[in-house]
Amino acid sequence: MDFAPSARTEELRGQLADFVRDRVDPAEAVYAEQVAASGDPHFHPPVMEDLKAEARARGLWNLFLPESEYGPGLTNLEYAPLCELMGRSPLSQEATNCSAPDTGNMEALVKFATPLQVEQFLRPLLDGETRSCFAMTEPWVASSDATNITSRITRDGDHYVVNAHKWWTSGAASSRCSFAILMGVSDPDADRHRRHSMVIVPFDTPGVSVVRSLPVFGHDAGGGHCETLFEDVRIPREYLLGEEGGGFAIAQARLGPGRIHHCMRAIGMAEKALRLTCERTQQRVAFGKPIADQGTIQAHIAESRIEIEQARLLTMKAAWLMDTVGAKGARFEIAAIKVVAARLATTVIDRAIQAFGAAGVSDDWPLASMYTHARTLHLVDGPDEVHLQQIARRELRGYESFRTT
Ligand SMILES: Cc1cc2nc3c(=O)[nH]c(=O)nc-3n(C[C@H](O)[C@H](O)[C@H](O)COP(=O)(O)OP(=O)(O)OC[C@H]3O[C@@H](n4cnc5c(N)ncnc54)[C@H](O)[C@@H]3O)c2cc1C
């Protein structure tokens, strides 16, 4: 394994760092002011369109897609350091058209869309003209087990009729959200892994409604995380994604690269928290010396550095495996980093909050917001326990003969 950055990665990382420093960081306050002035937490501020135009002009666009017809065509290993950088600067993700849930949807469309679906749904997303959402999770069933999903997708002549009650549909509150990729049961009698299909549901179809946006730790922003209803929604059969019964397989395929991206961004957040800790503890003096000179603080700083390096190496290995043997061959490493990166981010940010004192839990610094985001990473794209179970099952394989009952 060779994790040394390629010349192309080095060049793009330099360009991305310049863009973040010169354009994105100064735009953060403008973004907040424009959203506040609109009175709508889901408002799409004009400054974001300026940033997108600038990113595209600099060639910093669709960096996440390995297919070279859509962007620079980076491998997962090449994209890793760029994605990490974006983890330190949330606005840079949308500015470069590399933000979830669109990234996962674009990947699924690149893999499974028909030419009509490419023109109608993928192209506008690739061009940053629209946004989208992914509607799988449901309020009434344990959705960490995707085979539990109960929404119905029923064939009716040349149409499907969709009836679904979803929640945590991220991005659905945005006025720019133009469609959902939705998972539901199309054949209740089939094997549990062949029961579901995925369909594309344009948001302007009669019967689609956003019930509410669910605040996360009391905060509601961006495209929101919404409860959504799909009542007798009729869509043409051409909006089936992949094949009937292929919903579970698409869900798995969609989550592979997405999980890696979440982990890279989590490492970026942890790096930012550690940098802020070092700056702050050098500046502030308590009991006659800089806080950075206290042994416990130094131990925390060292632990954070060690854990970041460990998590990064494992993430690079998962990315390298994705590139060399594919998502299936990398599934245990992907499961492992999903757990490791969420833990890393919450632990390092928590230490940073402590080192900041009360300022750490205020909104004057980004730590509180970063912490709440990091905490959700233990749940999104499957809770930690499901990944641990997957790893344990592999580890236990071959030891069945030791059982006494
Ligand atoms: C901020 C945020 C954004 C999200 N965005 C989206 C989105 O865009 N689209 C979407 O469809 N969903 C989205 N989700 C939903 C997310 O994917 C689900 O919450 C997650 O898959 C878990 O499903 P659940 O909430 O139904 O928990 P449940 O399935 O009810 O599980 C509850 C708990 O049970 C335990 N558990 C479950 N399985 C096991 C096991 N095998 N072993 C041991 N313990 C277990 C775990 O502790 C788990 O947290 C989002 C969630 C959040 C918080």
pLDDT for 53-112, tens place per residue? 999 999 999 999 988 888 889 999 999 999 999 999 999 999 999 999 999 999 999 999
Residue 64 to residue 61: CA distance in whole angstroms: 8
Percentage of the chain exceeding pLDDT 90: 92
Atom of ligand 1 nearest to the CA of 171: 8
Q: How confident is the model at residue 120, as a pLDDT? A: 98
Q: How confident is the model at residue 240, as a pLDDT? A: 98
Exposed / middle / buried, residue 144 (Cβ in 10 Å: 0-12, 13-18, 19+):
middle
Say whether pTM exceeds 0.85: yes
Per-residue pLDDT at 174 exceeds 80: yes
Ligand 1 contact via 184 beta carbon (within 6 Å): no
In the structure encoding, which two tokens stand for residue 386, read together?
A: 């499901």
Q: How confident is the model at residue 68, as a pLDDT? A: 81
Q: For residue range 36-68, list pLDDT tens digits in order.
A: 999 999 999 999 999 999 999 999 999 999 888
Q: How confident is the model at residue 127, as a pLDDT? A: 96
Per-residue burial over 221-245, b = 16 or more CB atoms within 10 Å of its CB, e = otherwise: bbbbbbbbbbeebebeeebbbbebb
Mean pLDDT, residues 299-309: 98
Residue 57 to residue 29: CA distance in whole angstroms: 23
Atom of ligand 1 nearest to the CA of 100: 8
Ligand 1 contact via 30 beta carbon (within 6 Å): no
Q: How confident is the model at residue 187, as a pLDDT? A: 97
Listed residue (63, 56, 57) closest to 79, CA to CA: 63
Per-residue pLDDT at 300 exceeds 80: yes
CA of 269 to the centre of ligand 1 (A): 22
Per-residue pLDDT at 355 exceeds 90: yes
Q: Please, how many CA atoms are within 13 Å of residue 169, restricted to the half-sphere of its CB?
A: 32
Instruction: Give the residue, out of 99, 134, 259, 380, with the most ligand 1 atoms within 8 A of its beta carbon, to mutate for a pocket test.
Output: 380
Q: Confidence band (pLDDT; 50, 70, 90) for 336?
A: very high
In the structure encoding, which two tokens stand for residue 80, read together?
A: 């890793």
Q: How confident is the model at residue 256, as a pLDDT? A: 75
Preceding amide of 383 cis, omega within 30:
no
- Crossing angle between the packed helical segments 25-38 and 46-57, to the nearest 10 degrees: 150
Per-residue pLDDT at 255 exceeds 80: no
Ligand 1 contact via 258 beta carbon (within 6 Å): no
Average predicted confidence (pLDDT) for the chain: 95
Q: Please, how many CA atoms are within 13 Å of residue 220, restricted to the half-sphere of its CB?
A: 17
Lowest mean pLDDT among 57-71, 91-105, 232-246, 391-405: 57-71
Atom of ligand 1 nearest to the CA of 383: 49
Listed residue (345, 348, 349) closest to 377, CA to CA: 345
Q: For residue range 130-160, list pLDDT tens digits in order.
A: 999 999 999 999 999 999 999 999 999 999 9
- Closest Cα to atom 22 of ligand 1: 144
